[in-house]
Amino acid sequence: GQLNETMVLQPVVNLSADGTSAFGRWRIFAMRGLHGASASWHEAAVHAEYVFEGEWKIARQWIEERVAVPCEGSWGRNPLDMLKTLPDPAFPPDGEAAPIGPQAGLPLPLLAPYAVPAGSLADRLGAAVDVEHLICHFGYLNDIRAWDDVAALFSAGGLLAYGPRGGYRGQDKIRAVLHTFGSPGLRANEIANRMQVQPIVHVSADGKEAAVRTRSIMQLNASGKPLFGDAVNEFRLVRDAGRWRIASLSILPTFLSDLDRGIVGGLLPLPGAGRDPVPDLPPQMTDPEPLAAFLPPFHYAHPVTGAPMGRIAGSAASGAAADSRMPGWQVEAGEDGELARLADTRALETLQRTYGYLVDKALWRDATDLFAEDGTLEIGGR
């Protein structure tokens, strides 16, 4: 009768130069309870140091449990338990409502150039890791509304497009629109998590561009209400002087709801464009109804058929063409064995995570095409 579901998500892992130690940051999202007695939500940041002793082992781990609340009232009406296992001056003393700043020791993504030929499989695989780290880092900065730091991740002419509101170009305008989502920093009993999960990463053949699709799980509170939502993010990134930056980001929300009322009676309208700042591009999503039919376009082709994915009647993004500059993770004959295994792992991640995005929108034909001719599917023993 006990529940202790603990999801470990959103990794940023940095290895030492000699390959004998590493440092990582992760996110825990957990549901815990005892049948008939208790039920609670938990969210935490995990910091870990690793050591290689023939196998990788955890040398030191500490957990900052930032949310520990009963399911009833969840993170809307219950005080958030800001439990600290290590002293951190970025957190305010108990009872104060001072803003919470960025965490000390947050590992930055590895953005150094690789000592391998540009555009080679090794270069593209390394770039995929760095890009994924950058996206996870983006998520952690969003958690604490570190808007200046978020804007700095964009290229000088970068674009932030929020589906119902429009597109905003340039770091200054991106920074201004981010501020409309709340004042920088968090105050006591405030939560603004936007978890970045289910990444699908592609790197261009020349290693200079990348594209990433993620799912953003939103855990927010406002006016005593616990809010829960989901969005699909499509990132485009460019390598600028050896460093990756976000060239464009499309945030395409699926829903936002009052958690207490659920999606049956608690769906909330998605915010439209405000008066300031004025968007440079029109909104991608024009139907204000919650859960309106909309297919966030895929930056890549179907991993098996190579065809564009998605066809929803009336959808504004049906069958959008994939970016031909973003090849899959196919391995050439004679490629190094270890690199081939890493590329195959990326290809399998793309395959399985694509299944999730296709099921989201009931794209059954595209989902079926992921299976082998004699493949099988078993759901819950049926």
pLDDT (0 to 100) of residue 244? 93
Q: How far is CA 124 from the centre of its chain?
A: 20
DSSP 38-75: EEEEEEEEEEEEEEESSSEEEEEEEEEEEEEEETTTHH
Rounded-to-integer distance, Cα 327 and Cα 203, Å: 7
Question: Coil, strand, or helix at residue 23?
Answer: strand
- Please write the tens of the pLDDT for every residue from 338-361: 888 999 999 999 999 999 999 999
Comparing CA positions, the residue from 206, 212, 297, 217 lying closest to residue 246 is 212
Give the residue-averaged pLDDT of 120-137.
91
- Mean per-residue pLDDT over the chain, rounded: 83
Banded model confidence at residue 101, pLDDT cuts 50, 70, 90 = very low
Banded model confidence at residue 311, pLDDT cuts 50, 70, 90 = low
Banded model confidence at residue 321, pLDDT cuts 50, 70, 90 = low
pLDDT (0 to 100) of residue 336? 77
Which range, of 16-25, 94-103, 281-290, averages the lowest pLDDT?
94-103
Q: Is the pLDDT of residue 70 over 90?
A: no
The verdict on whether omega for the bond into residue 277 sits within 30 degrees of 0, i.e. cis, is yes
Rounded-to-integer distance, Cα 333 and Cα 335, Å: 6
Banded model confidence at residue 71, pLDDT cuts 50, 70, 90 = confident
Which range, of 5-19, 41-55, 323-337, averages the lowest pLDDT?
323-337
CB contact burial 148-167 (16+ within 10 A = b; e otherwise):
ebbbebbbeebbbbbbbbbb
Banded model confidence at residue 90, pLDDT cuts 50, 70, 90 = very low
Host H or E run for residue 237: strand 225-240
Q: Domain 2-292 adopts which CATH fold? A: Nuclear Transport Factor 2; Chain: A, (3.10.450)
Rounded-to-integer distance, Cα 110 and Cα 113, Å: 9
Rounded-to-integer distance, Cα 321 and Cα 309, Å: 8
Comparing CA positions, the residue from 322, 133, 130, 127 lying closest to residue 206 is 127
- Please write the tens of the pLDDT for every residue from 201-253: 999 999 999 999 999 999 988 777 888 999 999 999 999 888 899 999 999 99
Rounded-to-integer distance, Cα 137 and Cα 196, Å: 9
Rounded-to-integer distance, Cα 45 and Cα 195, Å: 11
Q: Domain extents for the chain?
A: 2-292, 300-382
152, two tokens: 């700095």
Q: Is the pLDDT of residue 369 over 70?
A: yes
pLDDT (0 to 100) of residue 356? 95
Host H or E run for residue 341: helix 337-360
* DSSP for residue 276: S
pLDDT (0 to 100) of residue 103? 35
Contacts of 101 (CB under 8 A, 6+ apart): 90, 144, 146, 185
For the chain, the first-to-last Cα distance in angstroms comes to 24
Comparing CA positions, the residue from 266, 367, 357, 369 lying closest to residue 317 is 357
pLDDT (0 to 100) of residue 87? 35
Report the percent of the chain where pLDDT is more than 90: 46
Give the residue-averaged pLDDT of 378-382.
79
129, two tokens: 């890791």
Rounded-to-integer distance, Cα 123 and Cα 129, Å: 10
Rounded-to-integer distance, Cα 200 and Cα 212, Å: 5
CA distances 62 to 67, 189, 277, Å, are: 15, 22, 41
62, two tokens: 């500490």
Give the residue-averaged pLDDT of 25-35.
91
